[in-house]
Structure 1
Amino acid sequence: MQRINKNVVLAILTAASSLFLLFQLYYFKYYIAGKNGPGLSNLKGILSLQETMQWRAVKKFTSLVNSYKVPVFVVDSVLLKIIAKDLERLKSTPYVLSECRYFCEHRDVTTFGLQDSLWESKENFLRAAERMGFQWQKYDGRDPRIEGIEDLSGTKIPLHYIFKMAAHTIHLVLFYERSGNYLWHGPLRLRQKMDKKFVPFRKLQFGRYAGAYNRPELILVTADQFKIWIPKDPSLFLQEIPHSKFLECRYKEARAFFQLYPDDYSVEAIEFRMQAKRLLHLAVVTLKSLGINFWLSSGTCLGWYRQCNIIPYSKDVDLGIFAHDYTPDIVPAFEKAGLHLKHKFGKVEDSLELSFIEENHVKLDIFFFYEEEKYMWNGGTQAKSGKKFKYLFPKFTLCWTEFEEIKIQVPCETLQYLEANYGKNWDVPVKDWDWKSSPPNVQPNGMWPVDEFYDVIQIY
């Protein structure tokens, strides 16, 4: 029997394999695509299994959430940046057929958000996810909405879900409504017994810290052949992400503080706190209407951090504003809101300070902060002499918190901020406080020229 040439056999098998592959491509393009519409056949990203992994996982996930009417929305910053550029086209064109633009690029993670109160049939949803081929893990955390100085319940709520299909990860961040009319999500924390190799956690960028967001208005668009909810203004949501870090009030430490220094429940203290809370709400509404960034400063910041409350003997409300955010509209806006300008010290470029008073004689002090190369500072002025003072702070960034049922900002580096202003013993109450000499960060800053007194020392 004639011996078969191995090279000939190999060539025949190679040719047969190539013909079979070409037949599959032809069949897929002209039969499958024709049967199912122009979807996959027109997608630019259908080049390899690896490149379509994200598209397939997201397709199944959105199919699942749509069938269970779970209104997840895109919070993925990478996707939102692309979507923001194409927003008008997405709103006007139901299908983008020429290319797979959003979900076919190779990315390991796609991140969605969901308001927890809108998620019904949670257990049924999770079982359906398993049947679809998803593996998932849940990440719990303490529920801050039911905690207080009197109740450190430690009740757990789900904060994050991770869904995995093949090599792609779907990160679902749960948002909760807080009393300040905003949405909050908790931090993503791995517990000791959790599988740390379940997904590449270092690539989950959204939600590493607790965050606070304005409630976004959502719109439904169609991208890469399936419908997704997105923030109506993706650019605005993207601006919030890097500044969303949230700090919870320290109820455990506040309880310990009040065990050492019992709270003041006198009629005068209760009345002042009510008035100060009302004044703080008014200040927040007024400054937000002007688009001005601000934060709790001085004694009001100390009260939040030390005792989760307004200090009853402080007799005022203190806010900080960066000097570059000053606008002449501040004074008329507060006067329109019912406050009267008590004094204006300094000038915009140097030691500016505004003080307002309301009808119940509770004072609102606004300190303007200036940034130098190595530190920040705000100024003070002694009206009688024209002496200037300077209060130095280490550089700080701003985080959100909830205080007196308000979403408001505080210095992220709160401890360093307070130690600069009140020293290492900031946690010990001091009722006799001299603003010119008591703060450890105060230093002389010269004198205002006499010919400028009229402009820099205005008392009403």
Structure 2
Amino acid sequence: MMQRINKNVVLAVLTAASTLFLLFQLYYYRYYISAKHGPPFSKLKGMLAQEGTNWRVVKNFLNLVSHHSVPVFLVDGEVLPLLGEDVEQLKSSLDTTPSECQYFCKPRDVTTFALLDKMWEHKGSFFRAAEKMGFQWQKYEGKDPRLEGMDDLSGVQIPLHYIFRMASHTIHLVVLYERSGNYLWHGPLRLKKNMDRKFAPFRKLQFGRYAGAYNRVELIQITVDGLKLQIPKNPLQFLAEMSHSRFLECRYREARSFFQLYPDDLSVEGIDFRRKAKTLLHLATSTLDALGVSFWISSGTCLGWYRQCNIIPYSKDVDLGIFIKNYKPELVPAFQKAGLPLKHKFGKVEDSLELSFLGSDDVKLDIFFFYEEADYMWNGGTQAKSGKKFKYLFPKFTLCWTEFLELKVQVPCETLDYIEANYGKNWDVPLKVWDWKHSPPNVQPNGIWPLNEWDEVIQLF
């Protein structure tokens, strides 16, 4: 009986001692260690809690690319908005330690980086090092569009995307290429038949559903959650580009088929017109870009891009479209300053506005302003001698980027619907005779301008 009491007493004393020791440790850490080291301790505690999650995977990936001099930069659509709000503070605190893990410790399945292809070499040592570190990886290739053209459909494959996987987190690396229109391009991510479709959460990837186009980006280095990395200098501007970056490639294969049926016009006059039209389009693009006015190639210029990857040599003008909500009063003075005098102005901002400028080589630049209704979009037309109004109806469309005449310009994403509305189902058959008042299948009468408004809505120069 005495032995049993002694054992119980000993156990009670040991339990009490252990409890007191644990309480002392908590008190010591709270009032001495945290007071002495402050925020870094809290940060360390947060980091340690994330071992095995995305923060550790991102850290390992950044260590990998740093060791192999692979200059990646963050393009993640979930992290960049947070960084954009704090970018000035982050730039000024490169060497300070954050109080907590704010950006990369939040639960996410994917973190996205990008790099310029010309800035690194696809060396096997890099991928072997990745495997040694514990990463699994896959490469996704596609055709190099820079080598495609009317004379050569090369089919050369280039790396477009890499995916690195560790534990439960995925790193998506998007490869960017410089294109002749002075912009950056990435290709779509397409899985081949023999590829593992469960290797990554492909539906959650922010890049790769379509090809994309971006302006050249300036980078800055910051320290985030104890990790040194590069991000776009203006994260919010890059994010704005992300939202409308979809890119459509010119249809070279179809264009070659078109020219087999309808040989191209290689006459001196045809070649000369194309040269003049290209010069005019470049000038119009630089003028509108300087004003910050978004536009797309429209009408016959859009048809030429879609059907034959070039200007239609008998079209006589360059056609652009602008949403009326993007109209700016400075537009006309800006074109005149660029050497393009106003030829005519029809309509008004509230209704059927249309501007036409005369290039230095007597090639016209026509700008059609588009209005949006509940179920369709439209632009107007005016007959100067009669005051008659016309309306051209289009199904609703969005805008994509393309490369045309060595320029990054926009076209309707729903290009075929747009062209069929304007030119009908036989758009692929050349027509040299075209009456803008009657030939388009989408044209309809829209009344007559009142005589007392003619001075405003019918201006010829």
TM above 0.5, one fold? yes
C-alpha spacing 1:22/1:229, structure 2 compared with 1 (3 Å) = farther
- Output the CA distance in 2 between the equivalents of 1:11 and 1:258: 96
Residue matched to 2:436:
435
Instruction: Extract structure 1 runs of 4+ deviating beyond 6 A.
Output: 10-29, 37-40
Greater CA deviation, 95-104 or 262-271? Answer: 95-104
Are 2:226 and 1:225 equivalent residues in the alignment?
yes
Report if the CA contact (8 A) 2:77-2:206 is conserved: no
SS of alignment partner, residue 455 of structure 1: helix
Q: Is the contact between residue 382 and residue 388 of structure 2 (CA under 8 Å) also seen in structure 1? A: yes
SS of the residue 1:303 aligns to:
helix
Q: Which residue of 2 aligns with 1:157?
A: 158
Residue 226 of structure 2 aligns with an amino acid whose one-letter code is: Q
Whole-Å separation in 2 of the counterparts to 1:129 and 1:24? 40
Structure 1, residues 143-171: CA drift from partner, whole Å, max 9, x if none? Answer: 00010121111100000000011111000
Which position in structure 2 is the counterpart of 1:86? 86
Contact 1:74 1:112 in 2 (8 A): yes
> Does the C-alpha gap of structure 1 residues 43 and 312 become closer, same or farther in structure 2, counting only changes over 3 Å?
same
Superposed counterparts of 1:7-156, under 5 Å: 42-43=43-44, 45-46=46-47, 48=49, 53-94=53-94, 95-120=96-121, 122-156=123-157
The equivalences for 1:346-365 within 5 A come to 346-365=347-366
For 1:281, the equivalent position in structure 2 comes to 282
Distance 2:23 2:183 in 1: 55
Equivalenced residues, count? 451
Identity level (%): 71
Cα 1:207–1:350, aligned 2, differ >3 Å: closer, same or farther? Answer: same
1:398 aligned partner: 399
For 1:173 and 1:121, locate their aligned partners in 2 and report how far apart those are by CA, in whole Å: 14
CA deviation after TM superposition for structure 1 residue 207, in Å: 2.5
Change (3 A) 1:373 1:17: farther
Structure 2: unaligned runs, 5 residues or longer? 5-10
- Show CA shifts across 1:182-206 (max 9, x none): 0000011111110111111111122
C-alpha RMSD of the superposition: 3.0
Deviations 1:325-354 (A, max 9, x none): 111111111111111111000001100000
Aligned residue number for residue 198 of structure 2 = 197
Shift of 1:65: 1.1
In the superposition, the TM-score normalised over structure 2's length comes to 0.92
Mapped contact 2:40–2:97 kept (Cα < 8 A): no
The 8 Å contact of residues 218 and 231 in structure 1, kept in 2 or not, is answered as yes
Structure 1: tracts of 5 or more residues without a match: 4-9
Contact 1:43 1:97 in 2 (8 A): no
Change (3 A) 1:20 1:267: farther
TM-score normalised by structure 1 residue count:
0.92
Q: Determine the C-alpha separation between the residues in 1 that align with 2:26 and 2:211.
A: 48
Q: SS where residue 333 of structure 2 aligns? A: helix
| Aligned mates of 1:14, 1:78 — CA distance in 2 | 49
One-letter identity of the residue aligned with 2:409: I
2:422 counterpart of 1:421:
yes
The range that moved more, 174-183 or 333-342, is 333-342
For the 8 Å contact 2:39–2:99, the answer to whether it is kept is no
* Displacement after TM superposition at 1:398 (Å): 0.2
Q: Residues 247-286 of structure 1: matches in 2 within 5 Å?
A: 247-286=248-287
Q: Which amino acid aligns with 1:161?
A: Y
Q: Partners of 2:107 and 2:129 in 1: how far apart?
A: 26
**Paired residue secondary structure (2:345):** strand
Aligned-residue offset at 1:97:
2.5
Shift of 1:26: 12
Whether the 8 Å contact between 1:45 and 1:105 is mirrored in structure 2 is no
CA contact (8 A) 1:39 1:225 kept: no
Find the residue that maps to 2:53 and give its secondary structure: helix
Could you tell me how far 1:369 is from its partner in structure 2? 0.3
- Work out whether residues 375 and 396 of structure 2, in 8 Å CA contact, stay in contact via their aligned partners in 1: yes
Give, in whole Å, the separation in 2 of the partners of 1:134 and 1:14.
Answer: 45
What is the CA distance between 1:431 and its match in structure 2?
0.7
